[in-house]
Amino acid sequence: MTSDWARLKELDKRHLWHPYTQHKDFEEDSMLCIDHADGVFLYDENGKAYYDTISSWWCIVHGHNRPEIKQAIAQQMDLLEQVHFAGTTHAPGIRLAQRLVELTPEHLTRVFFSDNGSTACEIAVKMSFQYWKQVGQPQRQGIISLKRGYHGDTLGTMSLGGTPQFHSAFAPLLFSTYKLPSPYCYRCEYHKEPISCDFACLKPLEDLLNDKAQEMACIILEPLLQAAGGMIAYSSGYLRRLERLIKQAGIHLIFDEVATGFGRTGRMFALEHVNAKPDFLCLSKGLTAGWLPMAATLTTEEVFCAFYDDYSKGKTFFHGHTFTGNPLAASAALASLNIFEKDRVLENLGPKMELLQNGAKEFLRHPFIGDVRGMGMVAAFELVQDKATKTPFAPESRMGFRIYLEGLKYGLILRPLGDVLYLFLPLSTTSDEIKDILQRMERLLWEFFRR
């Protein structure tokens, strides 16, 4: 370790406040210091390599340090680094909007840029809310979301979320929404089996719509994979039925694909698995392949037209961010989309996804792995104290966190969601790397629980 890093660690402890981090955990030992990255590896200050198994919080798509994206950003820096996007436009923003419209369902024709996933989701909800006022249905103010859903950490998106461990401290500040049961088959609220449940968890939605459809504005959910809620992969049949109910009720359907977009589930967007047609599509994370902050909210011409009028009518959508449509970020996103085409990324995912999902299922042999789930390049492993009763470990045991710390010795960065370990791999991960990751993880778990 260089003297520079020794000094930096002291400064970190003195000045920084890290997200989702209890700093007392690092009172004696410093946290992992990342010096550089390449491909699917992160390297610490001593040069030790670690697999970036969570894609640096789900945003790295093509691996670290891709030269094509670096070059695109550098070329744009010579032209324009930043300009406000209110009444001003630029080529990268225009081209990126066109590409996103071409990639998504044809009815999504309008793109509103922002800078992170929370804002992308909050924008969709605000647009829906204002839309109904401007088309003469102001009574439509109800917002529906799912338990174990997660849409961000702003006050608005915390209100939409159903993950109490993240948001309960702020409950007095949040507005109420209609929360539906999560399609969490392993811990079904109705104690049913997936093969015969007939989607009982959708019955509350049917009842709500039968009673209050004319009061509802929108529903927001993560299609096919509830990410921060525990990497809960659920069936396409559930999503198809939910979409049918929502369309029949005539309310807005918002898909939060901040985590699932850009190839994570094996398609460019998770909605493609069911040919769904949401009224709003929220994107971020993989949009720039992890290079720069950026988000986008896509919607329909019908929604856009409800805001189009003389300024005096007061229908303008008053929302924006300093770095909305930033040209450097847009250039990174365009370069990433070019890589998808050039490298035929999605076409080549099949064998790797099969390898990951089949390899993950083998972990069910472990006495403390109660459930294995996932799709595409995502696999999750739920730790339990007793498999027969599905009894979780006591929270104070912090089993997931202890395995994360142990995993660093095996060259794995496994940042769990409570006691759910997961792999959220860059799409560029090779088959040999997937095998190596699974083998290291298997050794880690057997040796950890043997003590």
CATH code at position 388: 3.90.1150.10
Q: In what order do the strands lie in the sheet with 34-38?
A: 34-38, 41-44, 49-51
* pLDDT (0 to 100) of residue 28: 83
Position 108 in a domain: yes
What residues pair up with 417 in beta bridges, in sequence order? 420
* pLDDT (0 to 100) of residue 2: 60
By three-state DSSP, how is residue 109 classified?
strand
* pLDDT (0 to 100) of residue 366: 96
Q: Is 20 tagged catalytic?
A: yes
Pairing type for strands 108-114 and 142-146 reads unpaired
Catalytic residue among 256, 279, 371, 419: 256
Position 19 in a domain: no
Q: Does residue 245 share a domain with residue 109?
A: yes
Q: Does residue 430 share a domain with residue 355?
A: yes
Pairing type for strands 295-300 and 280-283 reads antiparallel
376: phi > 0 → left, psi -120 to 50 → alpha, else beta; which? left
> Of 283, 308, 342, which residue is a domain's last?
342
Distance CA 78, CA 264 (A): 33
Position 387 in a domain: yes
Q: Give me the CATH number covering residue 98.
A: 3.40.640.10
Q: Does residue 274 share a domain with residue 139?
A: yes
Distance CA 323, CA 214 (A): 37
Task: For residue 121, count CB atoms less than 10 angstroms from its CB and return exposed for 0-12, middle for 13-18, buried for 19 or more.
Answer: buried
Q: Does residue 350 share a domain with residue 333?
A: no
Position 7 in a domain: no
Domain extent for 264: 70-342
> Of 323, 342, 361, which residue is a domain's last?
342
Q: Is 184 tagged catalytic?
A: no
Position 392 in a domain: yes
Q: Does residue 122 share a domain with residue 229?
A: yes
- Helix ranges, 135-270 (H): 155-160, 164-167, 203-212, 236-249
Catalytic residue among 50, 51, 131, 150: 150
> In the 8-state DSSP scheme, what is residue 90?
-
Q: Does residue 381 share a domain with residue 358?
A: yes
Position 9 in a domain: no
Catalytic residue among 285, 371, 419, 422: 285
* pLDDT (0 to 100) of residue 164: 85
Pairing type for strands 178-180 and 142-146 reads parallel
Q: Does residue 328 share a domain with residue 184?
A: yes
- CA 336 from centroid of its chain's CA atoms: 18
Distance CA 62, CA 435 (A): 18
Count other C-beta atoms under 10 Å from residue 92's C-beta.
Answer: 22
> Of 342, 358, 376, which residue is a domain's last?
342
Number of domains in the chain: 2
Tokens 């359907």 locate to 253
pTM of the model: 0.97
Residues in the chain with pLDDT < 50?
1
Q: Is 43 tagged catalytic?
A: no
Q: Is 422 tagged catalytic?
A: no
Q: Does residue 384 share a domain with residue 254?
A: no
Q: Does residue 422 share a domain with residue 273?
A: no
> In the 8-state DSSP scheme, what is residue 42?
E
Q: Does residue 236 share a domain with residue 175?
A: yes
By three-state DSSP, how is residue 113 classified?
strand
Considering Cα of 71, then 353, then 41, then 20, what sign does the dihedral take?
positive
Position 335 in a domain: yes
Q: Does residue 128 share a domain with residue 114?
A: yes
Q: Does residue 80 share a domain with residue 46?
A: no
Position 24 in a domain: no
